[in-house]
Amino acid sequence: MDHLRGLLLMVLAVLVLTPDTLLIYLIESDPWTLIFWRGLLTALTLTVAFAVMHGRDMVKKIWEAGLPGIVAGLLFGGSTISFVMSVRLTTAANALVVVASMPLFAAVFTLIFLKENVPLRTWLAAIAGFGGIAVLFSGSLGGGALIGDLLALVTACFMAGNFVLIRRYEKISMIPAVIFSGILTTLAVASFAEPAVFGSVDFLYLILMGTIVLPVPLAIMTVAPKLIPAPEVSLVLLLETFLGPLWVWMVLKEKPAKETVIGGALLIVALIVHSILSLRETQVR
């Protein structure tokens, strides 16, 4: 039952998260100002929610997060900055397909840090997946998008590491870590941002992003890794690879490059097959 609940929670998180890439494109401010408000609004929203949930015990719960919470906050914050910069420097399709390599990193980190057995199918998926990423990168060389793709890869590493960390410390609430990451990213870019330079439409997009599209999925992602393995959490996020670019293609008419389609297909097929085999094994048990 916990396994099914974890899967359903992750599906909900992804469905709420899918407009994020489109909103990043639609907001016309510089990336530093976008990151500033993105972090601040997410932190404020989750602080209010956390206070309502725990009342007088809020400070105690934050203190209990301790060093793991600080590390998780740094990883959350790093992934936020790298993802926004990635989407601004490459196409939405490229960014989301590269981020879809997250399950591969989660599997490796699980083996190294949690000492949990990683099945052969995961390593086969890793080989096929990195083959897809290699094809995708080949289309970025010399095209000015390579840095964006590399930042997407950094995002995948940070997020995978976070899921493994949350699973390792399953008894600790990591929502304070998300709040900390929002404050951290806001402070990190404050000297570069221009918070007052916003049109009314941009600010409406920001409100939507900072009160629903980001806080809800991030809060769920602090719970799901406690119910299902980190690689499987990452695999469910593959839905974002399909639905995220779909929003952008429909609204902005951005078509993916040929290399993105081929590389993305290789990566996604490998990971979907891996996911199906994992679910079958769970049902057998």
Q: For residue 64, what pLDDT is reported? A: 92
In contact, 234 and 118? CB cutoff 8 Å: no
pLDDT by residue (tens digit) across 97-118? Answer: 788 788 888 888 988 988 877 7
pLDDT by residue (tens digit) across 129-139? Answer: 777 777 766 76
pTM of the full structure: 0.82
Q: For residue 163, what pLDDT is reported? A: 93
41, pLDDT greater than 90? yes
> What band does 285 get if pLDDT is binned at 50, 70 and 90?
low
The beta-strand segments (E) located in the chain are none
284, pLDDT greater than 70? no
Q: How far is CA 127 from the centre of its chain?
A: 22
pLDDT by residue (tens digit) across 1-39? Answer: 677 788 789 989 999 998 998 898 888 888 888 899 999
> What band does 280 get if pLDDT is binned at 50, 70 and 90?
confident
Give the mean model confidence (pLDDT) for residues 165-174: 92
Give the mean model confidence (pLDDT) for residues 198-213: 87
Measure the CA–CA gap between 276 and 285, rounded to whole angstroms: 15
For helices 58-89 and 146-168, give the axis angle rounded to 10 degrees: 160
246, pLDDT greater than 60? yes
Q: In one letter, which amino acid is 156?
A: A
| Domain ranges, residue 176 | 2-284
Count of domains forming the chain:
1
142, pLDDT greater than 70? no
Average pLDDT of the chain to the nearest whole number: 84
Q: For residue 249, what pLDDT is reported? A: 76
Computed on alpha carbons and rounded to an integer, the radius of gyration of the chain in Å comes to: 18
164, pLDDT greater than 90? yes
Residues with Cβ < 8 Å from 143, sequence gap 6 or more? none
Give the mean model confidence (pLDDT) for residues 202-221: 92
Structure tokens at 276: 């199906």
Q: For residue 6, what pLDDT is reported? A: 82
